[in-house]
Amino acid sequence: MGTATLPTRGDEAWRYSDIDALARAWPLPAAECVVVPADGHFARTIFQNSGSVHTLDIAIGTGATAAIHILNIGGEYGRVELNVTLHEGADFKLGAVQIGGGNQNLEIITTVTHAEPSATSSQIVRSVLAGTATGTYLGKVAVARDAQLTDSVQSVKAMLLDRSATANAKPELEIYADDVKCAHGCAIGELDPMGLFYLQARGIAPADAKKLMLQAFVAGVFEGAADEEMLTEAALKKLGDLV
Amino acid sequence: MLQITNLHANVGDQPILKGLTLSLGAGEIHAIMGPNGAGKSTLGYVLSGRPGYEVTEGEVWFTPHVFPGEGRGPEPKTEDSSAALDPGLRRGTQGPINLLDLEPHERAAAGLFLGFQYPVEIPGVSNVQFLREALNAQRKNRGEAPLSGAEFLKVAREQAGALGMDMDMLKRPVNVGFSGGEKKRNEMVQMGIINPALAILDETDSGLDIDALRIVGDGINRIMRKPDKAVLLITHYQRLLDYVKPDFVHVLADGRITRSGGPELALELEREGYRELAA
């Protein structure tokens, strides 16, 4: 991360952060650095359940793959920051869910750099926010000049359960190559009231109807994670607390 | 079974129902016909408790088979001490309850089913999961034991088979990617699984081809044509009534019932149009 002094909201990557909470946690633990050797595979689950800041720098070697799964739900301020560099033919996958209620401030920040040709990256981020919680996703995909045949996808969706909750989403592309495929989709919405009524008209109580729809909203994000069951269970429990 | 008296309802600030009175007895099938904008769909939504549909006057009393015990349901009006089930539950066919006091899911548990004119798509939730959860929520609300996965699948398979729907469709997300006809058929599969006491079917015949219309009509007869059940069919056309013979036909115009009669009234409407009769 390379931040020696406490950032301010003037810093783009900390624009929506809870600076007071950050100050209390200062100084941050050093970034964890991982180098995935050529043709290797790296998988990691980050379960942020206590209000902490995680920074992970990953360099993915030629032909190597990395899969990261994040569940960001705990504490008043929780942040997960990923800085990923892809070498030739490497693959990066992110499946992230953040669920916040009360006054929580949760954020996921990613910078994915396609430094060399033919690498692929896929990022799926789902946020569910209630109360006056804030959930932020800042995701930058940078494609270097020579990184032709890059294939990158970002799917970012946020669901607001209360009008007082906030979702910030900034998928960002910085492309210097000319033969690349970069897709990004971003949507912030509320639970479909007609869908809720349909479920209730069939006998499902309001809170359970909401939970069922939210469960569908985050479904599939943890697919393939070694801790899939634990993550899903923890996510459902947190959703149950919010509805 | 259902007694609607002088029902007035607004959608937003707009009055839609303006003094509707209607009575359905057990074992009866009633058809409500009427021009567009008369309030037919509003009636279905008001009876099932859709938010935003505000009752401003009138009463709706419903006599369920088993009274819902959980939630914020009202105390039954009449004292009935016979054969108590779990605390808060009563079985019986005598004491009506005020339907308008119940939440939508409590109305469902009490035995009310609304067949939607436009069944809603729910991405990510499979039909099977949705229906099992719905059925078991109703059973729990009535103090009955939940069905196991195997028991539920048996019922679901029977009902889907009877309506010519394959099990793969039941595993797909609720109504997502279904054609108009498939959605309506899915409503009937749901009705078969839930097995309600009173069904309000809002234009279940629209969007159906001739074969599907017959299948759906047969389904309504098979599931609902019982001495202890009742059906309110909301429709524009006579053709569904060829398959599901109504005992009574009503004309709904400008928010109230303007005429009632036997099945012959539907034929008359088809011939003469609404304008003459609605006046």
Q: B109-148: string of b/e by CB count within 10 Å (b at 16+)?
A: bbbbbbbbbbbbbbebbbbbbbbbbbbbbbbbbbbbeebe
Q: Does domain B2-278 have CATH number 3.40.50.300?
A: yes
Nearest to B124 among A194, A208, A219 (CB): A219
Please give the residue of chain B at the shortest CA–CA distance from A194: B120
Contact A212 B49 (CB under 8 A): no
Query: How does pLDDT run across B3-12, given as a tens digit for each residue?
Result: 999 999 999 9
- Coil vs helix vs strand at B221: helix
Q: How far is B86 from chain A (nearest CA, A)?
A: 19
Give the separation between CA B48 and CA B102, rounded to whole angstroms: 9
Tokens 């020579």 belong to residue: A146
Nearest to B105 among A200, A212, A216 (CB): A200
Q: Which residues of A touch B69 (CB under 8 A)?
A: none
Strand partners, A106: A78, A135
Cβ-Cβ contacts under 8 Å between A and B: the total is 77
Residue type at B96? Answer: P
Mutation target among B41, B53, B99, B105 for the A interface, most CBs of A within 10 A: B105
Residue B78 banded pLDDT, cuts 50, 70, 90: very low
Give the separation between CA B81 and CA B143, rounded to whole angstroms: 17
Tell me what pLDDT residue A196 has. 95
Mutation target among B47, B66, B106, B122 for the A interface, most CBs of A within 10 A: B122
Contact B122 A195 (CB under 8 A): yes
Give the separation between CA B47 and CA B62, rounded to whole angstroms: 10
Question: Cβ of A26: how many Cβ atoms within 10 Å?
Answer: 13
Contact A197 B50 (CB under 8 A): yes
Q: How far is B103 from chain A (nearest CA, A)?
A: 8
Question: Cβ of A24: how many Cβ atoms within 10 Å?
Answer: 11
Nearest to B122 among A193, A208, A213 (CB): A213
Mean pLDDT of A62-77: 97
Give the separation between CA A203 and CA B139, rounded to whole angstroms: 9
Query: How does pLDDT run across B172-192, given as a tens digit for each residue?
Result: 999 999 988 899 999 999 999
Omega into B196 within 30° of 0, i.e. cis? no
Contact A206 B103 (CB under 8 A): yes
Tokens 């007694």 belong to residue: B3
Query: How does pLDDT run across A13-46, given as a tens digit for each residue?
Result: 999 999 999 999 889 989 999 999 999 999 999 9
pLDDT at B89 over 60: no
Higher-confidence position of B276 and A216: A216
Q: A203-213: string of b/e by CB count within 10 Å (b at 16+)?
A: bbbbebbbbbb
Tell me what pLDDT residue B81 has. 40
pLDDT at A66 over 50: yes
pLDDT at A63 over 90: yes
Give the separation between CA A234 and CA B142, rounded to whole angstroms: 30
Give the separation between CA A71 and CA A99, rounded to whole angstroms: 8
Q: How far is B270 from chain A (nearest CA, A)?
A: 32
Tell me what pLDDT residue B279 has. 52
Nearest to B104 among A194, A195, A197 (CB): A197
Q: Which residues of B touch A199 (CB under 8 A)?
A: 122, 130, 134
Tell me what pLDDT residue B71 has. 34
Q: Does A204 touch chain B (CB under 8 A)?
A: yes
The sign one gets for the Cα dihedral B7, B10, B11, B15 is positive
Query: How does pLDDT run across A128-173, given as a tens digit for each residue?
Result: 999 999 999 999 999 999 999 999 999 999 999 999 999 999 999 9
Tell me what pLDDT residue B76 has. 43
What number is the ipTM of this complex?
A: 0.88
Contact B137 A206 (CB under 8 A): no
Tell me what pLDDT residue B73 has. 37
Structure tokens at A10: 């003037």
Give the separation between CA B251 and CA B263, rounded to whole angstroms: 12
pLDDT at B82 over 80: no
Number of H helices, E strands in chain A: 4, 12
Structure tokens at B143: 């103090």
Note which residues in 184-203 of chain A have CB less than 8 A from chain B. Answer: 192-195, 197-203
Residue B235: closest CA among B9, B35, B3:
B35
pLDDT at B86 over 80: no
pLDDT at A117 over 50: yes
Contact B194 A203 (CB under 8 A): yes
Share of chain B above pLDDT 90, in %: 65
Annotated domain spans of chain B: 2-278
- Coil vs helix vs strand at A197: helix
Q: How far is B50 from chain A (nearest CA, A)?
A: 7
Give the separation between CA A185 and CA B214, rounded to whole angstroms: 43
Give the separation between CA A65 and CA A59, rounded to whole angstroms: 10
State how beta strands B2-11 and B14-24 pair.
antiparallel
Structure tokens at B57: 């006057």
Residue B67 banded pLDDT, cuts 50, 70, 90: low
For A77-91, B61-75, B233-247, B264-278, which range has the lowest pLDDT when averaged over its residues?
B61-75
**DSSP string computed for B32-65:** EE--TTSSHHHHHHHHHT-TTEEEEEEEEEE--S
Residue type at A243? Answer: V
Query: How does pLDDT run across B16-65, given as a tens digit for each residue?
Result: 999 999 999 999 999 999 888 899 999 999 999 999 999 999 999 998 87
Mean pLDDT of A214-230: 92
Omega into B173 within 30° of 0, i.e. cis? no
Residue type at B261? Answer: G
Strand partners, A83: A57, A111
Query: How does pLDDT run across B176-233, given as a tens digit for each residue?
Result: 999 888 999 999 999 999 999 999 999 999 888 888 899 999 999 999 999 989 999 9
Tokens 């021009």 belong to residue: B35
Q: How far is A25 from chain B (nearest CA, A)?
A: 38
Contact B194 A197 (CB under 8 A): no
Model-level pTM? Answer: 0.84
Query: How does pLDDT run across A172-216, given as a tens digit for each residue?
Result: 999 999 999 999 999 999 999 999 999 999 999 999 999 999 998
